[in-house]
Amino acid sequence: MAPAVQPVEAAPGPTRHPVDLGDKRLDADAVKVVRRLLRHGYEAYVVGGGVRDLLLDRNPKDFDIATSARPDDVRTLFRNSRIIGRRFRLVHVLFSGGKVIETATFRRAPDTSEREGEDLLIRNDNVFGDAHEDAARRDFTINALFYDVENKQVIDWVGGMPHIEGRVVHTIGDPVVRFQEDPVRILRAIKFSARLDLGITPDVYDAIVQCRGSLAMAARPRLFEELLRLLREGAAQRSFWLAWETGVLDVLLPELSAYLSDSEEDDGVVWRLLRELDLRTRERGEAFDDVVLWTLLLLEPLREVTRGEKDRVGAAADFLEPIVDRLNVPRRVADAVRRIVAIYPKLEAGRAARFAKTPLFALADEVHQIHRAALGHPRSTPDDAPRADSSELLGPKRRRRRRRR
């Protein structure tokens, strides 16, 4: 008897939503990239945060493309492009004004059978796939919508459109599994909820609480970077409130969460500092320097541990050391924070004349201004004051070393 023909299991088709994002500030260069790929017979879509932000009526930071074309093919099609990344190769297509359209080949999540036992952590996500698999390997449903430029349709493989309309953050699939695969997604859920003012569904919220411990196993530079993103985008107060409420802060910055629990007032200075930071970030439309952000976040507990200490630098260093280890805080940032905290009382007393000549002063002054405003003092610097930037702190030594390399 002939063997029974196995029916090929077709992937369930996506839902297509007619939406014209062209009306809504869809980037013309991103459209150009998609069109050229299509003309050469490849599949290509605008994907990710850009589509999400347009659907939520926000200004996207950037636009990414996903395509069936391999990196070398994309590179060949665009003269003004370069391949980046060693493990996962993507193509940056460059346009005038420094604009970059990131173009990535569809990839799929690694096979679960390749993973060991109960360990779900993804270590290698560098396998090409098709459009459907590429949507499914993404983190949240709102981040997995593909925009079809030619047909003016949002292609939804994962139920993201109802979540855009309902304004909620939901993982694609079981949140516990998705957070165990990559714990940094916990911080991303907090970031999107806070920044885009979206709800978190109860199952995702519970999974954050349940899986928060696995953040201790995530790559430390990624943790530091995601924490900075929580501070940079004008939603620091909501982000850290959520992180505190879910116990995520107990894992990442127990020093700060202990301080918050001890001070136990809902409208404490830490929250007022973060609110003031958010206000000013939105006002100037640009993030503050990493040193300013990191100093502000830890300012209150740092002031507490250094109060009355003769060796303020030493006391600040002892406080910061475990944090630097846990989160891989760059030395440059940690050193600057320590030095700002050391001279902070002088700054508050208006006696920082000697220090005013150092490049650190502008950063310290921004911290001080935000702190003063958070405590209810009127502003003392004009709005057009120059913006502080810690890259000046690198100094000539560092620059020389770089050139030699």
Active site residues: 62, 64, 139
Q: Does 61 bind ligand ATP (CB under 6 A)?
A: yes
The nearer residue to Mg ion, 51 or 341, going by C-beta atoms, is 51
For residues 288 and 368, is the Cβ–Cβ distance under 8 A? no
Q: What is the b/e burial string over 102-125, where b = at least 16 CB atoms within 10 angstroms of the residue's CB?
A: bbbbbbbbbeeeeeeeeebeeeee
With binding defined as CB under 6 A, does residue 234 bind ligand ATP?
no
Residue 207, amino acid: A
Query: Rounded CA gap, 379 and 385, in Å?
Result: 12
Q: Residue 400's CB: how many other CB atoms inside 10 A?
A: 9
Comparing CB distances to ligand ATP, the nearer of 144 and 211 is 144
- Residue of minimal Cβ distance to ligand ATP: 49
User: Which of 49/110 has CB closer to Mg ion?
Assistant: 49
Which of the residues 36 through 75 are near Mg ion (CB under 5 A)?
Answer: 49
CB of 185 to ligand ATP, least distance (A): 5
Stretch that binds ligand ATP, among 88-96, 136-144, 300-308, 341-349 (CB under 6 A): 136-144
Separation of alpha carbons 198 and 193, rounded Å: 4
Alpha-carbon distance 321 to 313, whole Å?
Answer: 12
Site string for ligand ATP, 38-57 (x = CB under 6 A): ----------xx--------
Cβ 60 to Mg ion shortest distance, Å: 8
Stretch that binds ligand ATP, among 10-18, 113-121, 138-146, 313-321 (CB under 6 A): 138-146
Q: Is the CB of 215 or the CB of 370 nearer to ligand ATP?
A: 215
Give the C-alpha separation, 352 to 25, whole Å.
Answer: 47
How many residues belong to the site for Mg ion (CB under 5 A)?
Answer: 1
Pick one of 163, 185, 232, 371: the residue that binds ligand ATP (CB under 6 A): 185
Binding site for ligand ATP (CB under 6 A): 48-49, 61, 64, 138-139, 143-144, 182, 184-185
Positions that interact with Mg ion (CB under 5 A): 49
